[in-house]
A and B are shown apart, each in its own frame.
Chain A
Amino acid sequence: DTAVSQTPKYLVTQMGNDKSIKCEQNLGHDTMYWYKQDSKKFLKIMFSYNNKELIINETVPNRFSPKSPDKAHLNLHINSLELGDSAVYFCASSQDLNSPLHFGNGTRLTVT
């Protein structure tokens, strides 16, 4: 009965590869997010979708492409992975932009 689940939990890959991280929420929330947490534990918004529509798109390289097939899913695809992409990526959801956030457990991406 996990509220926000993301997979995989760990992802180790080589530079130049393409990888995806999946996220699903069963809370019935309208808004979903991707956050990046760097090595200094600093969280930063990457994308936000509301009802499958992109509403926040921070300054993120074009190699990162979110996809929301329905409002319960928000996947993150990363092309041509670089060393600097190594971080923990958190998916989250909320009823709307002014409601509490519910986070997934994070995906630790390591690019070698």
Chain B
Amino acid sequence: KNEVEQSPQNLTAQEGEFITINCSYSVGISALHWLQQHPGGGIVSLFMLSSGKKKHGRLIATINIQEKHSSLHITASHPRDSAVYICAVPGASGSRLTFGEGTQLTVNP
């Protein structure tokens, strides 16, 4: 089983701050997912990446396959970014996504 650890578990920031959420996993993978769960409960896929970096608006995701580590960055954070951010990685067979426990981000105005 691929163990997934996220840090921090909780993060409070002021509007405009640069945010970094980290994800480490134990077994080599083909790709890693970053998800966002809003207070209303809906889950949205933000990124799926297997190498390097991806950018979408103010969100940037990076992955280092050798170090088994990924980061999610939010530039110029805004209160609407407040959500739980979850990383997920596939198991050794490529199936059975294992999810991190999530990072609760609160951005205050």
Contacts and interface: CB of A to CB of B under 8 A. Distances in A.
A100 B37 CA distance: 15
Interface of B: 30-31, 33, 35, 37, 41-45, 48, 84, 86, 88, 90, 94-97, 99, 101-102
Contacts of B102: 41-42
Contact of B43 (A42, A45, A58, A90): A90
Interface size class of A (residues with CB under 8 A): 20 to 34
Nearest to B97: A45
Interface string A37-66: 000111111001000000110100000000
B95 A48 contact: yes
Given A55-B95, A100-B48, A103-B44, A41 B90 contact: no
B42 A41 contact: no
Contact of B101 (A42, A45, A88, A108): A42
